[in-house]
Amino acid sequence: MNWGKTYTNCYGKMQSPIDLINQRVKIVSHLGVLRRTYVPSNATLVNRGHDIMLSWPEGAGDIQINGILYKLRQCHWHSPSEHAINGRRFDMEMHLVHESNDNRTAVIGIMYKIGRPDSFLSMMKHNLQIVGDTLNVTRAVGIIDPELMKLDTRKYYRYIGSLTTPPCTENVIWTIVRKVRTVSKEQVELIRDAIHGVSSCSSC
């Protein structure tokens, strides 16, 4: 799909996703561990057609980058992955989307390969099955704690890119977790089966 004809940002020079090549990566030790303070919060789940989105309307804590706090607003899953590492794409990718008070965006990306089931997706299985049969219908799923995702943010890639779907807004801070996690084949199929391929996209 040629999004650039409608959304000029999609022709920009800082577009995501990218292939993260180790030979081109510069080690920057002062970045340190990604500081995050997530909290349980009421959440909703919706099948947007191009992905499945878990949203925290009031936010669910924050991360801190360069002294700026970015509140966790939502996460969603793509399969297969959008980013690649050393030329390899993975079976699934999760994005955690954060926004600052001045409307800047920071996204954490996590890659998954087929292996042991992911405990967070196991917990969400029933709700994912329900939204898989509906499109753009928001389902309340109660209080969800993002810490149950058990993120390992000690080592990561960092670059400035864009949202990966229209409007392709640039100057998004991307943090791609270096450690690849595992997900079962059945869980990947659950995400893929729930996605209807609708082309209307709104975020990341």
Domain annotation covers residue 200: no
Domain annotation covers residue 152: yes
Domain annotation covers residue 106: yes
Estimate to the nearest angstrom the gap between the alpha carbon of 109 and the chain centroid.
5
Q: Specify the CATH number for the domain of residue 72.
A: 3.10.200.10
d(CA 130, CA 137): 10
Interaxial angle between packed helices 185-194 and 119-131, expressed in degrees from 0 to 180 and rounded to the nearest 10? 30
Domain annotation covers residue 201: no
Domain annotation covers residue 203: no
pLDDT at 11 over 70: no
Instruction: From the candidates 50, 78, 126, 196, give the one annotated as an active-site residue.
Output: 50
Read off the pLDDT band of 10 (50, 70, 90).
low
Containing structural domain, residue 84: 3-26+33-195
Domain annotation covers residue 202: no
Number of domain units in the chain: 1
Quote the percentage of the chain above a pLDDT of 90: 62
Q: Is 30 a catalytic residue?
A: no
| Among 25-39, 80-94, 112-126, the least confident range | 25-39
Which is more confidently placed, 169 or 182?
182
Domain annotation covers residue 96: yes
